[in-house]
Amino acid sequence: MPDDLDDEAGVLTPDTAPDTVFERFLDEGALAFQRCTACAHAVFPPRVLCPACGDPRLEWQRSDGEGVVYSITTLAPRGQEPYAVALVDVAEGFRLMTNVVADGDVAIGDPVRADFSAGVTPAGPFFVPEEQK
């Protein structure tokens, strides 16, 4: 393998691996996703190729963190507080699994937004209902 290969665009290194870049955005308090420059598909979770068209030219973008609950359920592990796990359709066009932290019930179709103060996992920030401050 030539030494200069690491300098070429698109070559993966530990620093440019999609998960690593995503974690750097999370550390900055940003929910990031990728946008395919060939077909405009929103790519999440992070990947090296567009799942819609196979193109490797994926551009990082920051989400505004606005979304709508697609599906939600409450898990009640023995000996632990119940918590809500949801699939959220984010406005930029991708869906992620997250925890929704709410004072009351949250239903399918409810508007939610990312809230890093509510909690963060390696997969992304928790969400809260839009009206909850």
Angstrom distance (rounded) from CA 6 to CA 9: 8
Shortest distance in whole angstroms from residue 31 CB to Zn ion: 20
Closest to 116 measured CA to CA, from 23, 32, 31: 31
> Which of 55, 64, 105, 131 contacts Zn ion by CB under 5 A?
55
Angstrom distance (rounded) from CA 126 to CA 113: 8
From the list 7-15, 50-58, 59-67, 88-96, the region that binds Zn ion by CB under 5 A is: 50-58
Q: Is 11 in the site for Zn ion (CB under 5 A)?
A: no
Residues 33 and 94: beta-carbon distance below 8 Å: yes
> Which of 11, 12, 17, 39 contacts Zn ion by CB under 5 A?
39
Shortest distance in whole angstroms from residue 26 CB to Zn ion: 24
Query: What is the token pair recorded at 6?
Result: 């690491």
Which residue lies nearer to Zn ion by CB, 12 or 75? 12
Shortest distance in whole angstroms from residue 110 CB to Zn ion: 30
Closest to 119 measured CA to CA, from 83, 80, 74, 70: 83
Total site size for Zn ion, rule CB under 5 A: 8
Q: Is 38 in the site for Zn ion (CB under 5 A)?
A: yes
> Which of 11, 52, 85, 123 contacts Zn ion by CB under 5 A?
52
β-pair partners for 60: 34
Collapsed DSSP state (helix, strand, coil) of residue 98? strand
Residues lying near Zn ion in the complex (CB under 5 A) are found at 36, 38-39, 41, 50, 52-53, 55
